[in-house]
Amino acid sequence: MKIPFYQVDAFASEVFFGNPAGVCLLDRWIDDSRLLAIAAENNLSETAFLVRSGAGFDITWFTPVTEVALCGHATLASAYVVFNYLDWTDDTVLFQTRKSGRLSVKRKEDMLEMDFPSRPPSRQQAPDGLDRALGGKIQDVLSSKEFLLVVLKDENEVRSLRPDLSVLERLDILGTIVTAPGLQCDFVSRFFAPRVGIPEDPVTGSAHCVLIPYWARRLGKNRLHAWQVSKRGGELFCEDCGERVKIAGRAAIYLEGAIYV
């Protein structure tokens, strides 16, 4: 089987920044064990798999070790491929997911804007070992579905954080978001998910389903400018829309080829 494959740097204006995602175009679904093997071979934080369906595409995402329920950067990358490499004339593309309902991505000038579910966090007690894992001065701890949201004092603390990933991996959560007010944007963040094979994700769209409602409420504004301050870094333009959030960014193609399995 020959599978068209693209690698796209999402939430970046040029290659070598943002978050690289794999995009595989399938004629039909194949066994999940084969999808996982492809994702492991790609060794990217996520690989998206697409099958044409009706007016859009069915989509799912795998890390190198497991399927995930929602992925932002690989959805942005998938939309970039649809708009630029397929015979697609509409300004919007629809994606039907296995576990997160319908998603859409709209082309807006040089950016792509995703419509995702909002996942407002609620306060919770810090899990045992969190202080030791992060080593920062934690101001607040919240949670939303699989994610833990940890609030620090300022951007410098987020940037300088050197977490103990072995401790984070033992926490009963999918991933840990660390955030603080930004110096030149509304907020910054980093994301760690060693439990699913991602020590640190460069830019995490799904984490912003949690971050956007938190910061919209805290700052009293619906439109937000964000940076994920990982080593590669990524810029996100966000909007709180109640039960949904909009997450926009740019993307750049790095690789086009084929996978043979």
Contact assessment for residue 251 and residue 9, using Cβ atoms and an 8 Å cutoff: yes
Rounded to 5 degrees, φ, ψ at 138 are -75, 130
Helices (H), 5-134: 32-42, 73-85, 130-134
Rounded to 5 degrees, φ, ψ at 243 are -80, -10
Amino acid at 180: A
Could you say which of 14, 46, 155, 169 is catalytic?
A: 46
Rounded to 5 degrees, φ, ψ at 217 are -70, -45
- Find tokens 């950016």 and name the residue: 111
> CA 105 to CA 27: how far, in whole Å?
21
Selection from 67, 22, 48, 45 nearest residue 191 by Cα: 45
Contact assessment for residue 192 and residue 176, using Cβ atoms and an 8 Å cutoff: yes
> CA 178 to CA 192: how far, in whole Å?
8
The region, left, alpha or beta by phi > 0 then psi within -120 to 50, assigned to residue 169 is alpha
Beta-sheet pairing, 244-249 with 111-117 = antiparallel
Selection from 22, 41, 25 nearest residue 33 by Cα: 41
Residue 46: active-site member: yes
- Which are the catalytic amino acids? 46
